[in-house]
């Protein structure tokens, strides 16, 4: 969700003060790191799951305020729209049993959240883009009652000079829209993975995370539809990028002010370079002066929270106040099931660990432009994409996953201390999905054709399968 702020109007003095403190904290972060301030060498995993509140007709149900009061769980919080919520979980140290514990944690939270929803004549759903969402649902009246969201919307529009936001997405069908606000972002829900890593290795893990974006997303696509149009296999990607765009959108080119971004390049040494890039290239959207001690970098962290890199570096603190660096992998969609998402987590954690720890830097074998092109190809085409790999060869992504990616992920998970049985349980789900070709996106498109384009029937069938809990490659058409 991001950090709340306590007002919505800011003066030029507020912006000047915030910018000065941001610059000071950015310099202080570099000094803190150079003096050995990051001493935590553990690997710790976490996640955030964005979900939909629906009525029994499968329409978005804008009741999150009442719902969250009834639920009364500090780990479940609002999202941009009144029909979305975000589920969080306590972090888990990487090691034997971590994936099973993650799945159990999410299942327990999900079941409790679902019971409360049912008591309000509603239902929770996890899907990248809801097939039944309508343009009229994505209006300011359905924005969650948080100052943060009001200010972000106003600031994006102000920095666009009042120009409407343009949505131009071409797939099997085409979608061209002009919108007066940022609410289309609310149509995109994700399963975000966190991995805390030792600071000295954080640059390698960040670059490896960028490299893994393409195969990870190709195996997990679950957002092929928007307003009934068949667009990209993961339409979340162009929709999120364009819905908060401050500059022009022209395909793969990345304006320096793009707030949702694959990035400008790999890091040379550490993710600290990205916080310096934040200061130099990104206008402040939330100029709320912070009372928290400068040693916790509050202005730096608030500013970073309004820049949505697909892999985002985060500075955090544990209960004892010890600082750490973690990476937030943001490319995965919500759904289709808890088991599918845990399997996707297994693929990411294994791949990134194996790539980051290999003797030669993985990024030295793959130009950044190729890593970015791989990512957009995966978002467009899912398991039908091709990608360029470290050896300079191009692979159909299904072949790459079966021959190279899954063996790498298995090795990475073994190096984390997971048992072969746990590894095979989760990566076996990914392997079966890849072999069958039935991702969430593929199932939605084929099922939509079977039901004659009926989006409500598609959504009902999706939710029935989700409740049953079987992984998506086993769903009947």
Q: What are phi and psi of 44, to 5 degrees?
A: -130, 135
pLDDT for residue 2: 63
CA dihedral 248, 231, 217, 344 (to 10 degrees): 130
pLDDT for residue 213: 98
pLDDT for residue 234: 98
In this prediction the pTM is 0.96
Q: What is the spatial distance between Cα 39 and Cα 325, in angstroms, rounded to a whole number?
A: 10
Q: How far is CA 406 from CA 77, 90, 218, 331, 431, in A?
A: 34, 27, 13, 18, 8
- R_g of the chain computed on alpha carbons: 21
Nearest to 458 by CA among 161, 143, 131, 178: 131
**In the structure encoding, which two tokens stand for residue 172, read together?**
């099997």
- Which residues, 6 or more positions from 262, have their beta carbon under 8 angstroms from its beta carbon? 210, 213, 254, 309, 310, 371, 372, 375, 376
Q: What angle do CA 62, 152, 139 make, to 5 degrees?
A: 35
Burial of 353: CB neighbours in 10 Å, binned 0-12, 13-18, 19+:
buried
pLDDT for residue 471: 98
**In the structure encoding, which two tokens stand for residue 308, read together?**
């949505």
45's enclosing H/E stretch is strand 44-54
Concatenated DSSP letters of 75-138: TEEE-SBTTEEEEE---EESSTTHHHHHHHHHHHHHHHHHHHHHHTT-EEE--SS-TT--GGGS
- Which residues, 6 or more positions from 280, have their beta carbon under 8 angstroms from its beta carbon? none
Q: What is the spatial distance between Cα 412 and Cα 358, in angstroms, rounded to a whole number?
A: 10
- 336: preceding bond cis by omega (within 30 degrees): yes
> Which stretches of the chain drop beneath a pLDDT of 50?
1, 248-256
User: Collapsing DSSP states into helix, strand and coil, what is residue 172?
Assistant: coil
pLDDT for residue 257: 61
Instruction: Point out which residues pair with 177 in neighbouring strands.
Output: 167
């Amino acid at each position: 969700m991001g950090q709340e702020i306590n007002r919505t109007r800011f003066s030029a003095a507020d912006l000047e003060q915030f910018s000065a403190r941001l610059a000071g904290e950015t310099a202080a972060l570099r000094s803190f790191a150079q003096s050995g301030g990051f001493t935590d060498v553990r690997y710790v995993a976490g996640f955030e799951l964005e979900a939909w509140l629906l009525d029994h007709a499968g329409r978005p149900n804008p009741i999150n305020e009442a719902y969250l009061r009834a639920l009364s769980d500090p780990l479940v919080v609002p999202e941009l729209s009144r029909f979305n919520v975000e589920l969080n979980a306590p972090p888990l140290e990487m090691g034997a049993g971590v994936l099973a514990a993650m799945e159990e944690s999410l299942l327990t939270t999900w079941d409790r959240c679902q019971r409360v929803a049912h008591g309000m004549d509603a239902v929770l759903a996890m899907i990248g883009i809801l097939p039944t969402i309508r343009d009229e649902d994505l209006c300011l009246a359905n924005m969650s009652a948080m100052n943060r969201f009001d200010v972000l919307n106003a600031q994006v529009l102000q920095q666009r000079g009042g120009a409407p936001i343009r949505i131009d997405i071409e797939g099997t069908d085409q979608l061209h829209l002009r919108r007066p606000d940022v609410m289309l972002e609310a149509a995109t829900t994700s399963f975000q993975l966190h991995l805390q890593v030792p600071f000295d290795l954080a640059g390698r893990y960040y670059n490896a995370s960028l490299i893994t974006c393409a195969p990870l997303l190709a195996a997990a696509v679950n957002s092929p539809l928007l307003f009934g149009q068949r667009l990209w296999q993961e339409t979340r990607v162009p929709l999120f990028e364009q819905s908060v765009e401050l500059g022009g959108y022209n395909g793969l080119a990345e304006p320096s002010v793009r707030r949702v971004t694959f990035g400008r390049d790999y890091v040379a040494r550490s993710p600290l370079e990205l916080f310096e890039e934040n200061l130099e290239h990104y206008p402040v959207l939330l100029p709320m002066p912070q009372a928290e001690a400068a040693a916790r970098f509050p202005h730096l962290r608030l500013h970073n929270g309004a820049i949505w890199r697909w892999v985002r570096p985060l500075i955090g603190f544990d209960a004892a106040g010890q600082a750490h660096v973690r990476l937030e992998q943001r490319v995965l969609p919500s759904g289709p099931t808890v088991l599918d998402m845990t399997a996707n987590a297994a693929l990411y954690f294994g791949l990134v660990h194996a790539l980051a720890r290999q003797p030669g830097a993985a990024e030295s074998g793959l130009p950044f432009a190729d890593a970015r092109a791989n990512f957009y190809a995966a978002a467009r085409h899912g398991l039908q994409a091709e990608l360029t790999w470290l050896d300079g060869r191009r692979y159909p992504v299904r072949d790459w996953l079966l021959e190279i990616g899954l063996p790498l992920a298995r090795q990475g998970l073994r190096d984390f201390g997971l048992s072969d049985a746990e590894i095979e349980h989760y990566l076996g789900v990914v392997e079966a999905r890849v072999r069958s070709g039935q991702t969430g996106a593929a199932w939605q498109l084929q099922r939509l054709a079977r039901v004659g384009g009926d989006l409500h029937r598609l959504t009902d069938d999706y939710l029935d399968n989700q409740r049953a809990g079987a992984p998506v490659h086993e769903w009947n058409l």
